[in-house]
């Protein structure tokens, strides 16, 4: 479980152009939830994701991830939290260009210190889970956008994280490929029982999740359950 209490994020603190990007955000995300965060560009979605993903610290407020308060941690402790509890999926895929798909999926396990053989085995399993078993030794530049994103999703799953954070994962993909990636998230949610936070501009995609949180100007202005539609969608 993940708990945000009155999270504030400001930039340019003490300067004339001080900017409050997140304004007392309070949010609880339960284990196994598939949740969408929507909002206009600049509303603070990515900023919020960075805080949830322990990439950034809030200026004020309390954030507890799996019972661990994040505020006072050192950079290396944050690295460890990200490594073990968070799986990122980015709009721009962010695969390491010089290593192949398999090694990319192995990376989080490498930093966790998992032995080579075990790492390799799990990476192979994850790549076949996302339907990439035939492209394991391909380099990122030999893959299509949709294939890259599937590798990135496999990588996000590597250390069995408490939460998967996907910031506009379909933003760089055409509708069809985007839908395929979305289906993959739903499959992972269903079969791997992961908590997934999906940040998106796309209302169609948001409606496929269980819960829709709306941000505007750094505030949560909507938090609706979408369970009914979700159940309908997943039974189709």
**Contact range with ligand ATP by CB under 6 A, out of 40-48, 104-112, 157-165, 180-188:** 40-48
Site for ligand ATP (CB under 6 A): how many residues?
11
103-111, long-range: CB within 8 Å, 24+ apart, which pairs? Answer: 104/140, 104/151, 104/152, 104/155, 105/151, 105/154, 105/155, 105/158, 106/158, 107/155, 107/158, 108/83, 108/155, 108/158, 108/159, 109/158, 109/159, 111/79, 111/83
Rounded to 5 degrees, φ, ψ at 125 are -60, -45
Strands 195-199 and 34-39: parallel
Please list, in sequence order, all residues whose beta carbon lies within 8 angstroms of the beta carbon of residue 207, skipping any fewer than 6 positions away.
226, 229, 233
Minimal distance, residue 21 CB to ligand ATP, in Å: 4
43 binds ligand ATP (CB under 6 A): yes
Side-chain half-sphere CA neighbours of 228 within 13 A: 2
42 contact choice in Mg ion, another protein, ligand ATP, none (CB below 5 to 8 Å, kind-dependent)? ligand ATP
Question: Is the Cβ of residue 196 or residue 212 nearer to another protein in the bound state?
Answer: 196
The residues in 166-225 that bind another protein, with binding defined as CB under 8 A, are none
- Residue 214 in the binding site for Mg ion (CB under 5 A): no
Residues 33-62 that bind Mg ion (CB under 5 A): 46
Residues that bind ligand ATP (CB under 6 A): 11, 19, 21, 39, 41-47
Give residues in contact with another protein (CB under 8 A).
Answer: 50, 53, 55-56, 75-76, 79-80, 82-84, 88, 90, 94-99, 107-108, 110-113, 116, 155, 159
Residues forming contacts to Mg ion in the complex (CB under 5 A) are 46
């Amino acid at each position: 479980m993940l708990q945000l209490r009155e999270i504030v994020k400001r930039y340019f603190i003490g300067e004339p152009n001080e900017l409050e990007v997140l304004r007392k955000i309070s949010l609880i995300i339960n284990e196994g939830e598939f949740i969408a965060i929507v909002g206009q560009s600049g509303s603070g979605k990515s900023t919020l994701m960075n805080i949830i993903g322990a990439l950034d610290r809030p200026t004020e407020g309390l954030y507890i991830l799996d019972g661990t308060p994040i505020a006072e941690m050192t950079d290396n402790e944050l690295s460890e939290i990200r490594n073990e509890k968070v799986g990122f999926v980015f709009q721009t895929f962010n695969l390491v260009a010089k290593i192949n798909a398999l090694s990319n999926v192995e990376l989080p396990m490498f930093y966790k210190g998992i032995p080579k053989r075990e790492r390799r085995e799990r990476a192979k399993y994850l790549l076949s889970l996302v339907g990439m078993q035939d492209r394991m030794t391909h380099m990122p530049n030999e893959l299509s956008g949709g294939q890259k994103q599937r590798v990135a999703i496999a990588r996000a799953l590597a250390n069995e994280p408490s939460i998967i954070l996907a910031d506009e994962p379909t933003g760089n993909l055409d509708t069809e490929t985007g839908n395929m990636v979305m289906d993959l998230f739903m499959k992972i949610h269903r079969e791997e029982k992961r908590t997934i936070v999906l940040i998106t501009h796309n209302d169609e995609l948001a409606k496929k999740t269980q819960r829709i949180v709306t941000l505007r100007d750094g505030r949560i202005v909507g938090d609706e359950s979408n369970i009914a539609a979700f159940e309908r969608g997943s039974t189709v």
